[in-house]
A and B are shown apart, each in its own frame.
Chain A
Amino acid sequence: MNWPIVKRLVWKDWYLVRWPIVGCLAGGALSVAMIGMRTNASFYFGSVLFITVVMIAAILLPMGTVLQERKDQTLPFVMTLPVSPDDYTMSKIIGNLTIFAFPWLLLSSGVMIVLASGGPKMRAVIPFSAALIGEMFASFVLLLAVAIVTESQAWTVSVMVAGNLFLQGFMYYVARIPSIARGLNGNGVSWDPAAITLLIAEGLAVAAMVCVTFMLQRRKRDFL
């Protein structure tokens, strides 16, 4: 792996998507502030805005840094640089993971701080929220993997729609897992095994998707 050039390509993607990320951070900061207002309405609308902002960032990055490069024919420019397809894949994975992780971590931390500093009822939501935020990160990685491997806008949009539907189902069913449901209705944080299992599964899914992306990319015989 040609790490100095991978680093330059990561920097390039950071530079090219900097303004949309600033926009997501601004929207996300508003959502965290609304969640912290401690009224039912502001909590609900703040949560919806938070999920929307993270989803927008998750869609925007694969579209902007992977698919748009093919559509705008800037990929040949990148591939004239002394890089191999492996270097390119690595730069896209590192670049997108770090760019997405930046607002995701900041905003998730903001939400967790707001929830932790709220009353016992707010603190009770923390494990469920952590599982939900983890699922959103895994969904982003899936979207990124599909964009890199298929190079297809149609496939990526289809997976995005499926991912959004899955998120709704995820919230519905996870909230009904008995131990998590008890925690949600309890007072204070309760890290039950189901919530921890979910977080570990999400982490493993992310790692597996990254590995499969590399594996499938290496099998490609036509890069352009």
Chain B
Amino acid sequence: MTDLAVQFEGVRKQYKHFLLDNVDLALEHGGILGFIGANGAGKSTTIRILMGLVVPDGGRVHVLGHPIPERQAIAKRDIGFASEDMRLYKAATIGWHMELVRSIYPKWDPAYAALLLKRFDLRPEQKVKGLSHGQRVKASLLLILARRPRLLVLDEPTTGLDPVARQEVLGELMEVLEDEGRTIFFSSQNTLDVEQISDQIAFIDRGRIIDRGDKESFLDRWRRLRLDVPPGVLLPALPGTVGATGSGRLAVVTTSSYEPEMNLAYQSVGATVHAVDNMTLEEIFVANVMSRREGRVA
């Protein structure tokens, strides 16, 4: 047993052209983890392992205290899972799906389900084959939220949604977050969505977790410095520097561990610090991935 809602220890999965390598993840009860990676980075494989649908070649996985995949059926009683590639039965209605899920989950909340139907502007008698993509996503979300899961696992839930539908879905997730006992594992390549709802971040690239931590520390640590560098001045190699670009006298330095002392270090060699800019999560993610791929450690 473990106190963590999700725990991966040295998880490994080898495919012919892809290796998920030594994945360690820990998500506490009530935490919201944004799991960010490019296409093919290993997000879906990690989530399938979490759900017990793929058996890892090595390592250990515990979800809600249950070893996975051995006790996945028990763990899934308290997991709500939605993914971008999950569909409902076209020939059946939303009401039929609700009845099916209700008959399986004793914690199904009919009042909440009715409220979500209204909020998402859905009707139980609507057949799935007549729904738009946005409506299908909302219907899927309704089916997992109304069962009141302790852990929500969302694999790219907002992919393909128009801006309005995306905001509706995110808005509903924000409301869910008010329940502090609810843990969320949120995978996306859309860093804006992740930035809105997550309190912890993990970056995955080419099958490896390349960085993780709480969101605020990511946003605090990462900075972009714009410098004026006179001819003949060589910038010192400061710890945490993940990139330096520029032309002529202008240089832009990206750092993953900014401290005000960095300004003094650059000034001491004759450079002038014009600006220290905050970075968005997307900029941090891209800089992090590129620096790893180019062999510079963030």
Contacts and interface: CB of A to CB of B under 8 A. Distances in A.
B265 interface: no
Given A79-B53, A84-B52, A72 B80 contact: no
Contact of B87 (A15, A74, A79, A83): A74
Given A2-B73, A74-B88, A222 B55 contact: yes
Interface in A80-117: 80-85, 87
Contact of A83 (B73, B81, B89): B73
Contacts of B82: 80
A80 B89 contact: no
Given A8-B103, A83-B76, A224-B48, A77 B88 contact: yes
Interface in A136-185: none
Of listed A77, A221, A222, residue having the most chain B CB within 10 A? A77
B72 interface: yes
A76 B85 contact: yes
A73 B53 contact: no
Contact of B76 (A74, A80, A222): A80
A77 B86 contact: yes
A30 interface: no
Interface residues of B, number: 32
B144 A80 contact: yes
Contact of A222 (B54, B80, B91): B54
Nearest to A76: B86
Contacts of A74: 86-89
Contacts, number: 72
B51 A80 contact: yes
Contacts of B100: 8, 12
B50 to A, nearest CB: 12
The residue in B73, B90, B96 that gathers the most chain A C-beta atoms within 10 A of its C-beta is B73
Contacts of A16: 89, 91-92
B283 to A, nearest CB: 32
A72 B73 contact: no
B104 A8 contact: yes
Contacts of A205: none
B182 interface: no
A16 B92 CA distance: 8
A82 B77 contact: yes
Contacts of A8: 100, 103-104
A73 B76 contact: no
A71 B282 CA distance: 34
A5 B80 CA distance: 16
Nearest to B56: A221
A73 B136 CA distance: 13
Contacts of B80: 80
B79 interface: yes
Given A80-B76, A80-B80, A80-B144, A224 B54 contact: yes
A5 B105 CA distance: 10
Given A12-B100, A80-B79, A80-B80, A221 B87 contact: no
A20 B91 CA distance: 13
B84 to A, nearest CB: 10
A168 to B, nearest CB: 34
Contacts of B79: 80
A2 B76 CA distance: 12
Contacts of A221: 54-55
Contacts of B90: 72
A51 B86 CA distance: 37
A224 B72 CA distance: 14
A213 B5 CA distance: 34
Interface in B165-222: none
Contacts of B86: 73-74, 76-77, 80
Nearest to A12: B100
Contacts of B55: 221-222
A76 B83 contact: yes
Which of B54, B83, B85, B86: most chain A CB closer than 10 A? B86
Given A74-B88, A76-B86, A82 B51 contact: no
A110 B82 CA distance: 47
A77 B87 contact: yes
11 contacts: A5-B73, A15-B92, A16-B91, A72-B89, A73-B86, A77-B140, A80-B51, A82-B73, A83-B73, A84-B72, A221-B54
Interface of A: 2, 4-5, 8, 12, 15-16, 72-74, 76-77, 79-85, 87, 221-224
Given A15-B96, A84-B69, 16 more contacts: A5-B73, A5-B104, A72-B89, A73-B87, A76-B81, A76-B86, A79-B51, A79-B53, A80-B76, A80-B82, A80-B86, A82-B104, A83-B76, A221-B54, A222-B55, A223-B53
